Structure 1
Amino acid sequence: MNDDLHLVVGLGNPGPGYAGNRHNVGQMVTAELAARLRATFKSHKANARVAEGRIVPGGPRFVVANPNIYMNVSGGPVNGLLKFYGLTPQKLIVVHDELDIPFDTLKLKQGGGHGGHNGLRDIIAATGSNDFIRVRVGIGRPPGRMDAADFVLKDFSSTEKQTLPNLIDEAADAVELIAGSGLTTAQLKFHTAS
């Protein structure tokens, strides 16, 4: 068992056409984490791209991963990575967009259902466990009568883009704090800040 190793998965859809979508905020956070690791993403046989390393010397080790397939079927790569690195779901941190949380807000939790999020649903089905940590990045509800599926596949608005870098930084900070000091410590910091 790799006690200090954490698998951090950013949910999103592959390809440049989706890169700026609200649905891809999880992969925006993993890109920031890879930059902090000073590591580049490399192809992995589990159908994902991974970056590995430590952000702080002597600190926790990270495998930061983006599945190469659509979010709704990301469970296979996540389960493959857990098996490859010999990790249990308790060492998995999934970073994803959350409609039910206002934009520019983070919520952290372990376990629970999928809340209608198809990426989480597929990870729970593939791993047989819901006992992983989620870094839920608030994107807010769609305006007016816009369908939620359309909303998540649109890029952030110009107003949101002004705040987005700070939100991504905070989410990456939350992942670091979870791995280094535990979920409760991270919740106390980020839940009271919002």
Structure 2
Amino acid sequence: MKCIVGLGNPGKKYHHTRHNIGFMVIDELLSRHHWSLNKSKFNGKYALEHDLGEKIIFLKPQTYMNLSGECLYPLMKYYHIDIDDILVIYDDLDLPVGKIRLRQKGGHGGHNGIRSIIDHLGTKDFKRIRIGVGRPTNSMPIVDYVLSTFPKAKQEDVHESIKKSADACEAWLKAPFNEVMNEFNH
């Protein structure tokens, strides 16, 4: 069983914010396959689906970003999901809007959702897709920036990065992650 986790904050007020780009990728995947988040447990909403002979969970933690690990860890234990079968999708300030980067492991880089997952799982060794949201070009505090929406001028880049990230998720269901990284990291 594989688990694809999109990070974000629950609630309408956060729906289109930079911090919720992980949720947006899960929405794209669900839309492509006409699936829905029809289960709710472990402070998360998720879909348990079958594709290509594999069970897959698409998860949106509902704990708020900083507590994402509190949702993922019990779900992994309940479904006996191995750390190698987890893929976490989240926003990254250090990448420009429209850019994605796949990694096999790494630190939290100041991202509190990833910090929570590392703390709860007890390891940094899980697959990720980092999606660029850029940094503020003015004196806007980071917290306000990640909780703001993308400007209209960046919408096409945002949609492209969501599409590419969903494509990478689908590729991972068919191929080893290092091959997927070689295809999408350029």
TM-score (norm 1): 0.91
Instruction: Tell me how far apart the structure 2 counterparts of residues 33 and 154 of structure 1 sit (CA, whole Å).
Output: 23
Cross-structure match for 1:131:
125
> Which structure 2 segments of 5+ residues have no match?
none
Match of 2:149 among 152, 155, 171: 155
- Matching residue of 1:97: 91
SS in 1 for 2:45: strand
Q: CA deviation at 1:169?
A: 0.9
- Tell me, in whole angstroms, the C-alpha distance in 2 between the residues paired with 1:25 and 1:73: 17
Q: State the distance in 1 between where 2:24 and 2:49 align.
A: 18
What is the alpha-carbon root mean square deviation over aligned residues?
1.3
2:49 is equivalent to residue 53 of structure 1: yes
Cα distance in 1 between the residues matched to 2:62 and 2:135 = 27
Partner of residue 71, structure 2: 77
Contact 1:11 1:24 in 2 (8 A): yes
Q: Which runs of 4+ in 1 moved over 3 A?
A: none
Displacement of 1:95: 0.3
1:36 matched to which residue of 2? Answer: 32
Q: Does 1:62 align with 2:56?
A: yes
2:181 is matched with 187
Please state how far the C-alpha of 1:59 moved relative to its aligned partner: 4.9
Per the TM alignment, residue 147 of structure 1 is displaced from its structure 2 partner at its CA by 1.6
User: Which residues in structure 2 correspond to 1:173-184 (within 5 Å)?
Assistant: 173-184=167-178
Cα distance in 1 between the residues matched to 2:90 and 2:53: 24
In structure 2, what residue type is equivalent to 1:110?
Answer: Q
Structure 2 distance, partners of 1:186, 1:147, is 35
Residue equivalent to 1:15: 11
Once the two structures are TM-superposed, the CA of residue 61 in structure 1 deviates from its matched residue by 3.0
Give the residue type in structure 2 aligned to 1:178.
Answer: W
Q: Which of 154, 164, 171 is the equivalent residue of 2:165?
A: 171
Amino acid at match of 1:46: F
Instruction: Measure the CA separation in 1 of the matches of 2:121 and 2:58.
Output: 18
Q: What is the letter of the counterpart of residue 106 of structure 1?
A: I
**Alpha-carbon distance, 1:135 to partner:** 0.5
Identical positions, percent:
37
Partner Cα distance (1:9, 1:20) in 2: 17
- Could you tell me which runs of 5 or more consecutive residues in structure 1 were left unpaired when the two chains were aligned: none
1:97 aligns to what SS in structure 2? strand
